[in-house]
């Protein structure tokens, strides 16, 4: 899937919650700040205060969008992300409010 095309809400729901009674476990969301370099993930939730959420969503971090951590600064802050074909940098503390899952 290309980074410019967001994943549909239906496929995101299938990734996040497994049907009752199945043996397979659904992937557990975790913080974007904990993501390894170079691996693609899907944004599940953008947390934090209203203004903060709005800013991140304006930058392209909306639920269902693919995101990759491209680089981390030498001291660990900020992170360079690639989403929808664009690079952006956010603080590690901001990345902790963004929940992601592995791309399926």
CB distance 67 to 25 below 8 Å: no
Domain boundaries, the chain: 9-18+26-102
How do residues 43-72 score in pLDDT, each as one tens digit? Answer: 999 998 899 899 988 888 899 999 999 999
CATH of 9-18+26-102, one of 3.40.50.300, 2.30.30.90, 1.10.10.10, 3.40.50.2000: 2.30.30.90
For the chain, the C-alpha Rg in angstroms (whole number) is 14
pTM to 2 decimal places: 0.70
Structure token pair of residue 67:
């995101």
Higher-pLDDT residue of 8, 59: 59
CA-based max dimension of the chain: 45
Nearest-5° Cα angle at 89, 87 to 93: 145
Question: Does the pLDDT value for residue 4 go beyond 60?
Answer: no
């Amino acid at each position: 899937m290309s980074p410019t095309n967001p994943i549909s809400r239906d496929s995101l729901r299938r990734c996040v919650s497994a049907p009752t009674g199945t043996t397979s476990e659904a992937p557990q969301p975790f913080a974007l700040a904990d993501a390894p370099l170079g691996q693609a993930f899907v944004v599940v939730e953008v947390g934090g205060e209203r203004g903060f959420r709005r800013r991140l969503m304006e930058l392209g971090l909306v639920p269902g969008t693919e995101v990759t951590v491209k680089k981390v600064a030498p001291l660990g802050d900020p992170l360079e992300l690639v989403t929808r074909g664009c690079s952006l940098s956010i603080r590690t503390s901001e990345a902790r409010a963004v929940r992601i899952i592995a791309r399926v």
